Amino acid sequence: DIQMTQSPSFLSASVGDRVTINCKASQNINRYLNWYQQKLGEAPKLLIYNANSLQTGIPSRFSGSGSGTDFTLTISSLQPEDVATYFCLQHNSWPRTFGGGTKLELK
């Protein structure tokens, strides 16, 4: 199984900060990586698919990069509504595996 190691697990930042969250795959997953945002009490929501494609309706301050084993989600200018937990998901092979999550809070 492919292990997805996400870091950091917790992040505190200020409004306007540039925020980066990382996911590392235990083996090559090409660009088959998605990023999800989950707000408290809600279902997850897709932000980025296939490593760097912005999902329809998602603000352009969100971006993704990477390929192979190392991936990054970047929020260019943190907004209060971005407080959430973020997860990566590899869909290169079965079983699908999620990263452990990054809880993002406002400083």
Chain residues binding other proteins by CB under 8 A are 1, 36, 38, 43-46, 49-50, 53, 55, 87, 89, 91, 94-101
CA distances from 22 to 41, 54, 95 (A): 24, 17, 21
1 vs 105 by CB, closer to other proteins: 1
Q: Least CB distance from residue 98 to other proteins, whole Å?
A: 4
- Give all strands of the β-sheet with 62-67 in edge-to-edge order: 4-7, 19-25, 70-75, 62-67
Q: Least CB distance from residue 73 to other proteins, whole Å?
A: 15
14 vs 42 by CB, closer to other proteins: 42
CA distances from 50 to 12, 26, 46, 66 (A): 27, 17, 11, 10
48 vs 75 by CB, closer to other proteins: 48
